[in-house]
Structure 1
Amino acid sequence: MLFAEISIFDIISQATYGALAGAALWGLYSATVVWARVNQKRFKSEDEQDVFMDDVEQMLKVGDFEGVAEYSDGDNRAIPQIVEMAMHHRGLGYKRARQFVLDRFQRDVMSDLEYRLSWVSTVIKSAPMIGLFGTVFGMMGAFKTLATSESVEPSLLAGDINVALRTTACGLAIAIPLMILVANVNIKIAKMEDLVGSGLARFMTQYKEALLKWPNGGPTSPSAAAAEPVEAVMQSPPR
């Protein structure tokens, strides 16, 4: 009997509220994940990044590739991860190692951010449409009440019209704040890309010079240690 008293319009209106709530929670979650990941991947300031790059450059000048890798190990920010990957793949040569780390950065960092933002954009577009869906069925319920009742009480019409207007308002209330949040996130991503780009250009210059200067991997590496006596013998004057 209880289900017989519930109309299809009531069921759809409640389902619309549930869909709007789910969209709002998913959009907020995705935007929060992007915000946190951007903060995780970038240095707080350019000065802080410069301090890190200064230390890396000092080690690269003496060919301490392993020291650079250890210094960057465990740091989840983008530049230290790029530096660490470059150190571990220096055997590929400068060009191939550079392409490798750039591809990994694009795939592991930027693609993930774009994936999350695409979900937020989907919520922004779909929330008003879900609200409009509820509006259409609310008005259909109001017209049904008019059609099936000889004398219509205003309270019956008010309930259907209230659903129609409230769902549209909820859809807009979800989309507008998310649009503002996404705009702020895009600004943070752009700043992160600029900061990472400047740090990457600086690192790659020093990285190339270090590979040219220490082709055997630095003075502390086993290959360099093995090559040093041979070079000393070749340079020793004949007796």
Structure 2
Amino acid sequence: MLFAALTVFDVISFATYGALAGVALWGLYCIVVVWTRVSQKRFKNEDEQDVFMDDVEQMVTAGDFEGVAEYCDGDARAIPQIVEMAMHHRDLGYKRARQFVMDRFQRDVMSDLEYRLSWVSTVIKSAPMIGLFGTVFGMMGAFNTLASSANVNPSDLAGNINIALRTTACGLAIAVPLMILTANVNIRIAKMEDLVGSGLGRFMTVFREALSRNPNQANAPVAAASTDPTASSAMQSPK
């Protein structure tokens, strides 16, 4: 009985509100995922990263590649994962190992963040457009009310105009906060890239020198690499 009383205008109005709610929730979800992912992949500050890098440099300089891989094992942050992958693939040589880990970082970390942010950008663009659709539809309803009756009830006309303005306001209320949150997330990503870049530069310098001093070790892959099936996918995003 309830659905039988609904008009086409009511159905489209509710559908517009539902679409706005859907895109708002999806955009917020993507923002939360990116925020969490960046927090997981970066050190809290540069001092914490420097402490980690000091330990890694000491072991790499001493030629303890197995110890480095063990030290980084299970750490979800980007630098430890890059270091561990470099240890597992040091038999490729410095240049190829470096290219390998950088490609994996770009593909499994940065590409995932860019994918999520692209969805947020889509939501930011689509929410005002959905609101504009509601505005146009509400005004169509208002004009239809004017045309269908000589004595127009002001409350009926006000209801149509209310829908027109409310959907526009909802679309803007979704887009504006998401724009601010996206800018904040982009700043966090830029800081993460700076930290990863500085740590990677330190590690690669020591790694190259260690490989040149220990050519036999460079040709011997870490034992865990052959027994741990997750070693080659350490940089992959969680499902």
Which TM-score applies when normalising by structure 1? Answer: 0.90
Change in Cα spacing, 1:64 to 1:153, as seen in structure 2 (3 Å) is same
Shift of 1:7: 2.3
Deviation string 1:85-130 (CA, Å, 9 cap, x unpaired) is: 0000000000000000000000000000000000000000000000
Aligned partner of 1:214 in structure 2 is 214
Secondary structure, in 3 states, of the residue corresponding to 1:49? Answer: helix
Q: Which amino acid aligns with 1:108?
A: D
Structure 1 position 5, deviation (Å) = 4.1
Secondary structure of residue in 2 paired with 1:183 = helix
Secondary structure at the residue paired with 1:150? coil
Question: 1:123-156 deviations in whole A, cap 9, x for unaligned?
Answer: 0000000000001100001111111112001000
Which one-letter code corresponds to 1:19 in the other structure?
A: A
What does residue 79 of structure 2 align with?
79
Change (3 A) 1:214 1:189: same
Task: State the match for 1:103 in structure 2.
Answer: 103
- CA separation of 1:79 and 1:221: change in aligned 2, threshold 3 A: closer
Q: Distance in 1 between matches of 2:45 and 2:3?
A: 61
Q: Secondary structure at the match of 2:74?
A: coil
Residue 63 of structure 1 aligns with an amino acid whose one-letter code is G
Aligned length: 221
Q: Structure 1 vs Structure 2: percent identity of aligned residues?
A: 81
Q: Secondary structure at the match of 1:44?
A: coil
Partner of 1:138 in structure 2?
138
Aligned twin of 1:92: 92
What amino acid maps onto 2:79 in structure 1?
A: I
Give 2:21's aligned residue: 21
Aligned-partner Cα distance in 1 for 2:170–2:74: 43
1:165–1:61: structure 2 CA closer, same or farther, 3 Å change rule? same
Corresponding residue for 2:9? 9
Q: Distance in 1 between matches of 2:21 and 2:186?
A: 24
Kindly provide the amino acid, as one letter, of the partner of residue 47 in structure 1.
D
Offset, 1:8: 1.7
The amino acid that maps onto 1:116 is: R
User: What is the CA–CA distance in structure 1 between the aligned matches of 2:215 and 2:71, rounded to whole Å?
Assistant: 21
Which residue is equivalent to 1:226? none
Which residue is equivalent to 2:166?
Answer: 166
| Gapped regions of structure 1 (runs ≥ 5) | 223-239
Q: Tell me if the contact between 2:91 and 2:221 (Cα under 8 Å) persists in the aligned partners.
A: no
* Residue 70 of structure 1: aligned partner: 70
Deviation at 1:61, TM superposition (A): 1.1
Partner of 1:124: 124
Q: Alpha carbon RMSD of aligned pairs, Å?
A: 1.6
Secondary structure at 2:75's aligned position in 1?
coil
Alignment match, 2:57? 57
Once residues 143 and 2 of structure 1 are traced to their aligned partners in structure 2, the CA distance between those partners, rounded to angstroms, is 26
Structure 1 CA distance for aligned equivalents of residues 221 and 84 of structure 2? 16
How far off its partner does 1:4 sit? 5.4
**Distance in structure 2 (CA, Å) of the matches to 1:3 and 1:84:** 60
What is the deviation of 1:6?
A: 2.6
**1:202 alignment partner in structure 2:** 202
Larger Rg: 1
Give 1:93's aligned amino acid: G
Aligned to 1:229: none
Q: 1:145 to 1:76 in 2, by over 3 A?
A: same
Corresponding residue for residue 234 of structure 2: none
